[in-house]
Amino acid sequence: MNEQRARENRVRRLARRRNCRIIKRREWKHVPHLDNYGEYMLLNENNWVLLGSRFDATLDDIENFFRRAA
């Protein structure tokens, strides 16, 4: 669990350096019909969704997104 949290923090710092932010959506077990996969969404400084519009981006996806953009 600590490894996952440390990795998430590292990816969040990576996003902040590029004027982006990561949002993690909590799973709503009582409302199964929502588009909510319990993963991440990447937003730019204008709050435009860059990746994971349905909270379906993983930390790997976000890291790869920044690698391709560099």
What one-character-per-residue DSSP string does the chain give? -HHHHHHHHHHHHHHHHTT-EEEEPPP-TT-TTSS--SSEEEE-TT--EEE-TTS-B-HHHHHHHHHHH-
Question: What's the pLDDT score for residue 37?
Answer: 63
Buried b (16+ CB within 10 A) or exposed e, 8-34: eeebbebbeeeebebeebeeeeeeeee
Stretches in the chain below the pLDDT threshold 70: 27-38
Query: Given this model, what pLDDT does residue 1 score?
Result: 73
Predicted local confidence at residue 25, as pLDDT: 79
Model pLDDT, residue 32: 59
Question: What pLDDT does residue 30 have?
Answer: 59
